[in-house]
A and B are shown apart, each in its own frame.
Chain A
Amino acid sequence: MNRLSGIFWSLLFLAVPVLGVATFAVAPAFDIWLPKDVSEHGRSIDSLFYFILALTGVVFVATELAMFWFLWKYDAAKSKGPATYIHGSHTLEVVWTIIPAATLLFLAIYQMNTWADVKMRRPAMAPTVEVVARQFEWRLRYPGRDGTLGTPDDLFLVNELHVPVDEDVLVQLKSMDVLHSFFLPNLRIKQDAVPGMKIPVWFKATETGEFDIVCAELCGWGHYKMKGRVTVESREAFDRWLEAKYAAQEATQPEADPSQSVAQSN
Chain B
Amino acid sequence: MKRNYDIETLISNFKNKDKRALSRLISIIENHPEKAADIFKNFGNIKHDSYIVGITGSPGVGKSTLTGAISKKLLDEGKSVGIISVDPTSPFSGGAFLGDRVRMTDVSLHPNIFIRSLASRGYRGGISRAVLDITLLYEAFGMDFILIETVGVGQSEFEIYNLAYTIVVVLVPGYGDSIQMQKAGIIEIGDIYDVNKKDLGGDDVAAHVDMMLDDSTFQSGWRPPIVQTNAHTGEGVDELMENIYEHKEHLELSEVLRERKKNRFAYKVRELLYKKIDNVLVSLISQDEINEISTAAIDHKFQIYDAVHDLFSNVKFERKKND
Q: Does A pair with B?
A: no
B interface residues, Cβ below 8 angstroms from A: none
